[in-house]
Structure 1
Amino acid sequence: MSAAEDGLRLLHVHAHPDDESSKGAASTAYYVARGTRVMVVSCTGGEEGEILNPKLDTPQNWARLPDLRREEMAAAAQILGIEHVWLGYRDSGFPDGPDWKPTTPEAFALADVGEAAGRLVRVIRDFRPQVLTTYDERGGYPHPDHIKTHTVSMAAVEAAADATRFPEHGQPWQVSKVYYQMGFHRGRYAALDEAMHAHGLESPYAQRLADWSQDADARLRPTTFVPAADFFEVRNQALLAHATQIDPDGFWFAVPLEIEKKGWPTEDFQLARSTVPVSLPEDDLFAGIAEAGESRVGPWCYSI
């Protein structure tokens, strides 16, 4: 039975437009090609972002950056073949010192967790995903919107399955598996660093590996390796659609595609919770779900 016939659905919850393209985009394209419905939630509009492409760093683009971010997101969504929802909060910006605070009360970092979780509960109950991905408790990196995305995602997964919570948002739905995005771990960087040197090329990861902390090694524990190499080109196209945010001559494209495909041919995730039996490591976000059938309200049988 095909994924479309199974009704498999995957929900990615991200902080900003472009996160869906820089984190797990090849896996997204892989599942879309298999007939899975994939939806991305962008918690904010990316209004406080910078222009990271020097060719587009103009006063005109700065003046309309919020609109540009939405246009870029629409283009990336079309490339990836996904459905997309804005959760409706404003980008909080990145802290620039100990006295930093968001510039607007609409900032996601200031949002009430219960209120924000309620918005996401409505999406979960409408879309009914068996699998949801988000960030770990540190946000993947310490941006307040990424950390808040983790908190809100986990709260919404719990609330969506509880018939007493947010009854106005539809029938309860239990997400079967929750994953953390885990693309930036030491194993991947080390393998690509070695592959670049083997081809006589300078690696963009040498300093990153030298600075890697033992704490990060202990925390970043990928469990699930999706064979998405055939969709790395699609990922790159989606990245380039976020033209203000991606320097086409920069870090993201420093490793040639053929070297990347051979050096680390997967995109990686960490299983955080599951209501179905699991056997780790795994190569499919939906492993165990076909055998278990449709998601149901029930206890977690795997939780980190």
Structure 2
Amino acid sequence: MTIQAFNEEVITEASNHLNQLTKPVGSLGRLEQLAIQLAGITGEMRPTIEKPAIIVAAADHGIVEEGVSAYPQAVTALMVDNFVKGGAAINVFGRQIGAPVYVVDVGINANLEHQPIEHQKVKYGTNNFYKEDAMSEKDVEAAIEVGRLIASKRISEGHKVLITGEMGIGNTTSSSALIAAFTGIDVEKVVGTGTGIDQTGKQRKITIIKESLHKRGITNTLSPIQVVAKIGGLEIAALTGVILEGAEKKIPVIIDGLISSAAALVASELVPEVRPYLLIAHQSAEPGHHLLLNYLGVSPLLHLNLRLGEGTGAALAYPLLEAASRVMKEMATFKDIGL
């Protein structure tokens, strides 16, 4: 795949235009940086930000057998039903911004053929990576391809912005393991309480991840695909594909919290050229997220102490992209007002 470098002429043009608008130079702060990034992503000085689509990739994790989550695995399928019925937080925020929610079964450990969702199951959940590799390299590649396929489908339907979301009990454990593996940051610093485990549970989670990294032979000599196969998640791989496809097609992808950002990490390890395209919606309450954002060199748009996932933080950040676009398209310049 080919992800193009930002067009510097467009970046310069966008920056100059911002400086000519009827305001003190730089006075819109982070919003101006966002406007310039959107110009780089789209290749348009005045990018069109409209018709957002929320992609919720759902999958299960064998690692829950080790007691790393406060909720049982059955919750994944139950929450998919909640998404379908429109009762989840992401449905609420999706309605607020006019974004449909597309749920993708990429690896739920249940038969959900009766549900009106995207059926792209690679396998019925990952294996318990404390005992064996989470999946095969072919599974990882298939899940990434699912993400690219779904993203391409949404783009072809006219959606100009994609929002990443996920559902999968145990996915903070997989994400934390991936962050530690790729960044080299100590597991103790990465792991948080996830869905709400107590301190005893958190310590167990740390131990399980540390021992799993050792058992799976995680070293910096492995390829990104090999690392994801050993300790990753199917929904994380699918979101990796969404992020890569968006960048290749020059469509902004708003990346949610810890799990979606772990997918962004995988994407950047696979294709480093994707890094300038990364739009991280918010800084999660999970401690590993701040460390990951520093590693990626990305500043989040919001700080709301969220730790829900589903794409909720990314949906909340969408109006900021719309605002940045409107500033570029609708705000008068000093020349316009006769100065």
Fold agreement, TM-score > 0.5: no
TM range (shorter): 0.3 to 0.5
Name the structure where strand makes up a greater proportion of residues.
Answer: 1
Q: TM-score with structure 1 length normalisation? A: 0.41
